[in-house]
Structure 1
Amino acid sequence: MNNLLYKVDDRPPLVTTTLLAAQHMLAALGGIIAVPLVVGAILKLPADQVVALVNAALLGSGIVTIVQCKGIGPVGIRLPCVMGTSFAFVGAAISIGFEHGVAGILGSSLAGSVVMIVGSFFMPQIRKLFPHQVTAVVVTMIGLSLVPVAVDWAAGGKAPGADYGAPANLGIALFVLAIVVALVQFGKGIISASAIVIGIAIGYAVCLGLGLVDFSSVQKAAVFALPQPLHFGMSFPPSGIFAMALAYVVTMVETTGTFMALGAATETKMRGTLLKRGVLCDGVGSAFASTLGAPPMSTFAQNVGVISLTGVASRHVVALTGVMLALAGLFPVLGAVVVTIPQPVLGGAGLMMFAMILTAGVQMLGKVEHDKRTGLIIAVSIGCGLAVSVRPELLAKLPPFVNEIFGSGISTGAIMAVLLNLVLPNRPVEVHDDEEDVPQPLLVKDLEAV
């Protein structure tokens, strides 16, 4: 049964497309600007350089998102993918930046992207390492890793402070969550599909009335800013290139898992050739972003939750999101306005979006063959992934390269699932791309039937 309101190649009306594209932008914008802000703050860069990093990240994310959705020749998966700067590269970027500055980060990013570009040509072979039980583990770990992000938003910020978990923050988040649930469950057509952006808009209006919106970022933002390619220059330290190459390998594993989740959400069979085009766009896009002066790019998992929640899988909608992100890079004041949305408002909507990915993963786990071997793969992989997610300090005393590989619960869970699937005896016959039956995503409207 078809659960999608709009399929991958459908073109909704312009007004509908704009609203739906705005939802994806709201889900991604915080993550896109967070990486340059974190790197800039830790490296103690001047304010103008941090602004240049943020603008380049938005512009690069927008352009690469359009390419990923629309495709140019062999580049681009032609599915609704939002691209953005990835936290998987933050550790490497900071270590390089302390010694070689932003020029070293960008040069290492450019050189390291070759790993992902070359690796993309082996995706048909890599795809065989991801049978259904492995894919189910990865999708579940994506959801488990994202839900705490939404919880921190709902509580008022990432690092616990005076306002973390304040009743006002939790009340706003629950209010927005209730609105989104009501709109998805009882709304029809565009109302249901636009539940996230409507819920955020109502929550924002309430925060405005309560005086909880800070407009200082809008007052400081420039109205228009041209991109400044090679503004920071480039250098190519061998140690930095190695660190970035390692981060690209980890990102390739995470991106593969995200594409698997995307395939389930969009009702698309995720064959090796599709993975090749998508990962190639990640690599080429990261190389392009480095010339703009932005950190490396990767496919955002959180936007898969938007698709699962709304049933809107149109790649043309997300291509418009790319246009919006690019405009935010050229007109910083636009991005600054979006940044004024209080985090509890985003947390209420984000909790629903990210939990939908987890729900899809649980549904996929329910369809795997239930035997001792599969149970071991699932239990050990999710257990190890949760271990580093819940207690990241677990790896603090290990060598830095171990942190780079296993610092993410998604990559840890994926690596463990792939390894266990290969080494445990009695491995079932591999499923080929043309024989695979991709499970359908579970939408909110289907929950009442479970």
Structure 2
Amino acid sequence: MELTGHENETKGNNKADGEINEGFDVNGEVISELSHKDKAHVKGQSERGRRRVSYASDTDTNPPKDNDTPDFDVIAEDDSKTSEELFMYTVSETPPIYMILLIGFQHALLSLSGSLAVVLIASDVICAEDDAEFISQMLSSTLLVNGLSTILMVTIGARLPLYQGAYGGYIIPLLALMQIDPNRCTIQRPTGLHNSSIGLNATVSSIPFNEEQAKKDLILSYFKEIQGCLMIVGAVHFLVGATGLVGVLLRYVGPITIVPSILLLGIYVAEPVMNFVVPNWGMSILTCAIGFILAFYLAKWKMPIPLWTRTKGFHIIRYPFHQIYAILIAIIISWLISFIITEAGGFTDNPKDKGYQARTDARLDSIKNAKWFFFPYPGQYGTPTFSSTVFVGFIIATFISILDSIGDYYACAATCRVPPPPSYAVNRGIAVEGFCTILSGLLGCPQATTTYGANIGAIGITRVSSRSAFVVVGIIYIIFGVIGKIAAVFITIPYPVLGGALIIMMGMFNGVVLSNLVSVDLTSSRNLVIMGVSLLMGLLVPLWVKTYPDDISTGNAEADFILKGLLGNPNFSGAILACFLDNTVPGTLEERGITAWQQQGTDESGATIDYVEGVELYETWLPRALKEWKGLEYIPFMPTPKKRKRSLSGQWARRKSIIAGVSDVIV
């Protein structure tokens, strides 16, 4: 795929067999005309939903060569459309195998650091930061479930090219518990038992104490609570989608509720991020600087990349490789520099010093101890348990995840130039996410999955929106999860290197959250006061619980602990207050940003959008007889025999994803 060039002088001419007839628009982007042999590119699209295309030749009938670079691209007859809106392959098409593999690896690597960061933060809040073997197992389970969830979402769920990754929102309730109980990771040594013999000569012996085993038991006790609560909230998540309650939820929750809630999440993770940075601020700043330069300072520069194809031979293309993989490149470079400094003796070799975590060999034993193959299964850590405090925190995270995923569905549809997903497709996608949350609890993940917005942006860059590519992404992650040595390699990355990456990711995350206010009237004192008070209370109440925990005293220790856990959760305090005020303080729908959500199927100017595919891409692969069954009308996640007239909020299609946990902001 050529990305730069000069004025096209051969546009409209017939091309020789197997030869690319390239043209360039005013923006310097390549446009390759579509020959007769490539008309299958739009096969299966409805006439109503298919975008108008022109063909370079109706006489070229030679079959394409498998190893050739795709020699076609769609040329829109509408001059207002630019080449940036065109796709080499649309959602329902299958590219050649070599292209599927390349695009699949790109999307897989793009989101890898996000899942790694979420797991490492989770290990800290369950007191497992020093247990490399357990962290490796959690990461393997997370990668495996990421792969399974992505495949299920693409084939059964929303049926859009969406990647499902680890969601950091479920870590916030656990961070709140750490704030109200600073000693939760302290092992209580049992008092010695005195075995005395009668007489003057008394003997005293203490019970043998295995501190390592006690630590493992403590980790497992917290982890099994997470497993049990994940499965329960996953069932709730599934029912919200399967019963069609998503539409009811959207009537009462708008951007004024969403922004304070998720912004608090981004602010509240500052402390765990600091734990990764403090071993060596220099390496963290270096990692941050490299990623920032590649992603933003060089955003308009496209890297020259040598390429060889059968039709053109050796040639140079320009592609923003450095921008797509900015975080990954920054991690690799800083990892290499850390290795050099470690070998030169620049970092301390004292394991008790915080600077020891900057060494590349600090957790090298985890690779040696890890199994080559790891197959997680239900019950491998014992019977899951339940914690009311963790459960309520997870419920809040679940509803935020639902709203964010809906936004990503519409954003993906807009990026792929397909109709907004109808309500049944959204319901089915939410139901699949709920099922995958149950799967996360069963297979030993410390968090659930959600849709990642970063991969949606990558679709626009690669110009390949095929679902098949994301099936490959799922398979790659399953392989990563099953091979235990791979996960072990990832957790050996020095903490300061990860800390620098997290600074960029969480900083950009907070900025993306604020961008969701584009549809809100920011000149309204009503909106400003609601969001400001909600943010302040979301920070103030948890700080009060942490500083004065004894102020909450109901006479029941269990009730006190539950209240402290709820009030110590910034999402609980901020989201509940924001939702209450937004729905009770008088204000118009337009003022609150709700009206913009209800505009669907149009672009910013109000003109009708011409799609490359029709709404039929959201239908499942059921037999025709079953699709025509009238009973489907009563199943919220299935299309009715007649066309639905309404779908959920269309504004979601224009906004960016506002959360992806830690990995949703990877550039």
Structure-2 separation of matches of 1:270 and 1:422: 27
Structure-2 separation of matches of 1:5 and 1:350: 33
- Verify: 1:210 aligned to 2:210, yes or no: no
Structure-2 separation of matches of 1:50 and 1:337: 11
Structure-1 separation of matches of 2:497 and 2:105: 21
Counterpart among 211, 234, 251 of residue 113 in structure 1: 234
Shift of the 343–51 alpha-carbon distance from structure 1 to 2, 3 Å rule, reads closer
Structure-1 separation of matches of 2:254 and 2:146: 30
- Verify: 1:287 aligned to 2:438, yes or no: yes
Residue 30 of structure 1: aligned partner: 117
| CA apart distance, 1:8 | 9.1
Contact 1:80 1:319 survives alignment (8 Å): no
Shift of the 16–288 alpha-carbon distance from structure 1 to 2, 3 Å rule, reads closer
Contact 1:169 1:344 survives alignment (8 Å): yes
Counterpart among 157, 182, 186 of residue 301 in structure 2: 186
Contact 1:56 1:294 survives alignment (8 Å): yes
Residue 663 of structure 2: aligned partner: none
Shift of the 174–402 alpha-carbon distance from structure 1 to 2, 3 Å rule, reads farther
- Verify: 1:15 aligned to 2:98, yes or no: no
- Verify: 1:62 aligned to 2:276, yes or no: no
Structure-1 separation of matches of 2:561 and 2:409: 33
Aligned-residue sequence identity (percent) comes to 18
Residue 362 of structure 1: aligned partner: 514
Counterpart among 486, 510, 520 of residue 334 in structure 1: 486
Normalising by structure 2, we get a TM-score of: 0.53
Unaligned runs of 5+ in 2: 1-80, 179-183, 185-216, 303-317, 343-358, 415-419, 553-559, 599-646, 658-667
Higher relative contact order (CA 8 A, sep 6+): 1
1:27-67 CA-partner distances (Å, limit 9, x unpaired): 2123135435643639x9x9876665554344234322432
Matched AA of 1:232? Y
Shift of the 264–41 alpha-carbon distance from structure 1 to 2, 3 Å rule, reads same
| CA apart distance, 1:258 | 3.0
Residue 251 of structure 2: aligned partner: 128
Secondary structure in 2 matching 1:210: helix
Counterpart among 239, 246, 260 of residue 392 in structure 2: 246
| CA apart distance, 1:111 | 4.3
Counterpart among 431, 434, 437 of residue 651 in structure 2: 437
Structure-2 separation of matches of 1:323 and 1:34: 25
Shift of the 218–391 alpha-carbon distance from structure 1 to 2, 3 Å rule, reads farther
Secondary structure in 2 matching 1:209: helix
Structure-1 separation of matches of 2:477 and 2:429: 19
Residue 286 of structure 2: aligned partner: 171
| CA apart distance, 1:396 | 4.3
Structure-2 separation of matches of 1:368 and 1:31: 31
Structure-2 separation of matches of 1:77 and 1:138: 27
| CA apart distance, 1:422 | 1.0
Unaligned runs of 5+ in 1: 443-450
Residue 83 of structure 1: aligned partner: 166
Shift of the 170–8 alpha-carbon distance from structure 1 to 2, 3 Å rule, reads farther
Structure-2 separation of matches of 1:382 and 1:270: 32
Over alpha carbons, which structure has the higher Rg? 2
Q: Could you say which structure has the higher helix fraction?
A: 1
Matched AA of 2:118? G
Contact 1:75 1:278 survives alignment (8 Å): yes
- Verify: 1:416 aligned to 2:577, yes or no: yes
Matched AA of 1:133? I
Contact 1:65 1:83 survives alignment (8 Å): no
Counterpart among 521, 530, 536 of residue 377 in structure 1: 530
Contact 1:229 1:291 survives alignment (8 Å): yes
Within 5 Å, give how 1:382-393 maps onto structure 2.
Answer: 382-387=535-540, 393=546
Matched AA of 1:401? I
Matched AA of 1:196? I
Contact 1:263 1:270 survives alignment (8 Å): yes
Within 5 Å, give how 1:291-306 maps onto structure 2.
Answer: 291-299=442-450, 303-304=452-453
Matched AA of 1:199? A
Shift of the 355–35 alpha-carbon distance from structure 1 to 2, 3 Å rule, reads closer
Matched AA of 1:256? I
Secondary structure in 2 matching 1:247: helix
Root-mean-square deviation (CA, aligned residues, Å) is: 4.3
- Verify: 1:201 aligned to 2:332, yes or no: yes
| CA apart distance, 1:333 | 0.8
Contact 1:395 1:403 survives alignment (8 Å): no
| CA apart distance, 1:424 | 0.8
Structure-2 separation of matches of 1:309 and 1:392: 42
Shift of the 205–174 alpha-carbon distance from structure 1 to 2, 3 Å rule, reads same
Residue 498 of structure 2: aligned partner: 346
Shift of the 137–228 alpha-carbon distance from structure 1 to 2, 3 Å rule, reads closer
Structure-2 separation of matches of 1:387 and 1:284: 35
Secondary structure in 2 matching 1:82: strand
Contact 1:137 1:382 survives alignment (8 Å): yes
